[in-house]
Structure 1
């Protein structure tokens, strides 16, 4: 899809010529009828909609006012690409700049997409200073130059981009609804599952600890070492992309090389909002890889349990927060008591009943895959349009 833009009528401007950086403070938000707080953690990278916020009632030191129609930009760690469009009154952090478009030159609805563009972020990154928490500033951002379409063209482009943004949000909503339905199905299925109660550890032929190994080439065998990224974005299937190469002895590799059907359990990690104990399952042929120190490799006994049945039980338990009862915090790291966690007993139906349940799960997965494919195509199109309009993909 091409917009066939005629840019000869576009005007070269500086950001500060068409946008104001507002710093209007509010002493008592409650008096102003403001009850929401927007902090950096409430802005999701790459998402224009603000779906989370804090409450004034919980207390805040923020004083900067936000009004609907303004665009927010996280000036701290600009590489996180946190920009959003305000749709309600709020108070925000000093690390968030509040932009207001000059409506005679730049439409407020068009501004957030400009701020999302690669060119703007490259400029923000290039003007950031500081090592641990780099920040850019308004003075430097105001000097950013870009080609600005006429107002009528801005409206046409903004309508198109917002339509795509709404569709992306709808797809995200569909994913959430399907995942919620799957979790409810699993909860009901596991609660009513017939069969004997068997300890999880007894459903495995092996429970193997991970190792970090040595730098590449220093030992007998080079393998991929699985890190926390294997659990990223709610992954269910193990992918080794981006895993570092480490070197181990042949004996260490022989015991730990991941096979089809193995489950990789997270032993250490997590956060207050994300409990430790995530799992992924290996499927098909993989590059030679091993779990690392903060993981455990579970090898299901296929004579009594289908690997995917055990995987979905463990994933369900993690999502339901069961792992919190078996974890403890050391400094800022949460560790799972694997021995106690695997000593739990669960109902294990017949292989036939397990297979039937997995068939139901597959229907959920197929639907999720379909939505993900549509979302991926939309993202490609969106990036293409950003490239055509702003000279660089988002």
Structure 2
């Protein structure tokens, strides 16, 4: 993709030439007229839209005023890439800068994409100071140099980037709607409390083990996937970061295709995913085996459902570290009607729909990155 940009008319400027760091503060009764509070945790990496916030009625020590059309930038741990575009009045954390464009030289709707660009973030990281919680300061950010298009070209670029952003948000909302519709149907099964089955009545369970690290021949290989909880992120197991030899895998317990891997210890406890490439896992994973593809994804959907996570947590061992033993996992009850054809089809349809939406989202992400790189460099 090419935007056909003619940069011969662009002007070299510094960030501080065309952007103000607005440090407007509100306290007491003046702050009481605003009901929303934005903290760093309310800003998501890579997301311009603020989807959640706190309530000022719950109390806050924040005093920095946020106005619509300002660009918010998280100055603490800039590597998190937290940038947002304000659409409402709020009070925000002192760890958030509120940038405002000089509209005679830069459009407010162009600014957030500049702040999201790789060169700006590289500059922010290079000028951050501190070890545990590095921060970048306004003085250094103001020195950032870049090429600024004329206002009419800024408008054309911003219109394109905002069109991509709006379409991306629409797709994300559609994905959430697809997931939510299935969650409602699964919740109905739990509420009905009919035809419940322990996992032991659905499949067999095997707990993983780690081949000896002392035997180099087990590990100097790319033969067999060795799964850990870090590969459990979505409904399907991510590609394993480590692999072992056939001999190393033979010392563990084989996970066939369509095994449902369940993380059973620590902060990852309860996460689950379906294995597509046969392999082995470490001892932090217990897997449900003996299922076909449709039933495997149905089990995974049930376990990932909030009520499924509650059922898992109800069986966990109360120790210093959260843990779910194999015997306790096998006792977890799931709704499992004898006639599952409709449920299986619903899960399959959801997976197809989500995969299609994710593919389009990925394409939009690449398009957006290419556009940002052409305008600002990097990305």
Q: TM-score, normalised by structure 2?
A: 0.89
Do residues 298 (structure 1) and 281 (structure 2) align?
A: no
Q: Deviations over 1:92-139 (max 9, x none)?
A: 111111111111111111100000000100111111122222111111
Q: Which deviates more, 172-181 or 339-348?
A: 339-348
Aligned residue for 1:77? 77
Q: Match for 1:339 among 313, 327, 337?
A: 327
Q: Deviations over 1:4-24 (max 9, x none)?
A: 011100000000111111222
Q: Shift of the alpha carbon at 1:339?
A: 3.4
Aligned residue for 1:282? 275
Q: Shift of the alpha carbon at 1:325?
A: 2.7
Aligned residue for 1:269? 266
CA distance 1:354–1:102, shift in 2 (3 Å): same
CA distance 1:261–1:14, shift in 2 (3 Å): same
Distance in 1 (alpha carbons) for counterparts of 2:185 and 2:323: 29
Higher strand share: 1
Aligned residue for 2:38? 38
Distance in 1 (alpha carbons) for counterparts of 2:172 and 2:122: 27
Aligned residue for 1:151? 151
Distance in 2 (alpha carbons) for counterparts of 1:349 and 1:82: 45
Partners of 2:182 and 2:346 within 8 A in 1: no
CA distance 1:198–1:108, shift in 2 (3 Å): closer
Aligned residue for 1:258? 255
Q: Which deviates more, 128-137 or 47-56?
A: 128-137
Q: Shift of the alpha carbon at 1:229?
A: 2.9
CA distance 1:317–1:298, shift in 2 (3 Å): farther
Do residues 53 (structure 1) and 53 (structure 2) align?
A: yes
Partners of 1:214 and 1:246 within 8 A in 2: no
Aligned residue for 1:375? 361
Distance in 1 (alpha carbons) for counterparts of 2:133 and 2:356: 39
Aligned residue for 1:361? 347
Aligned residue for 1:5? 5
Figure out how many residues of one structure are paired with residues of the other and give that number: 376
CA distance 1:144–1:221, shift in 2 (3 Å): closer
SS in 2 for 1:357: helix
Q: Shift of the alpha carbon at 1:166?
A: 0.8
Distance in 1 (alpha carbons) for counterparts of 2:57 and 2:318: 29
The root-mean-square deviation of aligned C-alpha atoms, in Å, is: 2.8
Distance in 2 (alpha carbons) for counterparts of 1:206 and 1:65: 55
Q: Deviations over 1:312-337 (max 9, x none)?
A: 33233566643343346766x64345
Do residues 63 (structure 1) and 63 (structure 2) align?
A: yes
Q: Shift of the alpha carbon at 1:311?
A: 2.9
CA distance 1:346–1:25, shift in 2 (3 Å): closer
CA distance 1:247–1:94, shift in 2 (3 Å): farther
Q: Deviations over 1:136-172 (max 9, x none)?
A: 1111111110000011111111111111111111111
Distance in 2 (alpha carbons) for counterparts of 1:219 and 1:114: 49
Q: Match for 1:308 among 290, 294, 297?
A: 297
Structure 1: 5+ residue stretches without partners: none
Partners of 2:235 and 2:272 within 8 A in 1: yes
CA distance 1:301–1:172, shift in 2 (3 Å): closer
CA distance 1:34–1:220, shift in 2 (3 Å): closer
Q: Deviations over 1:23-74 (max 9, x none)?
A: 2221226655111111110000001011111111111111111111111101
Distance in 2 (alpha carbons) for counterparts of 1:384 and 1:136: 27
Partners of 1:214 and 1:247 within 8 A in 2: no
Aligned residue for 2:228? 227
Q: Shift of the alpha carbon at 1:221?
A: 7.6
CA distance 1:158–1:300, shift in 2 (3 Å): same
Q: Shift of the alpha carbon at 1:220?
A: 7.3
SS in 2 for 1:37: strand
Partners of 2:20 and 2:101 within 8 A in 1: yes
Structure 2: 5+ residue stretches without partners: none
Distance in 2 (alpha carbons) for counterparts of 1:212 and 1:64: 54
Q: Shift of the alpha carbon at 1:216?
A: 7.8
Distance in 1 (alpha carbons) for counterparts of 2:37 and 2:211: 43
CA distance 1:145–1:313, shift in 2 (3 Å): same
Q: TM-score, normalised by structure 1?
A: 0.86
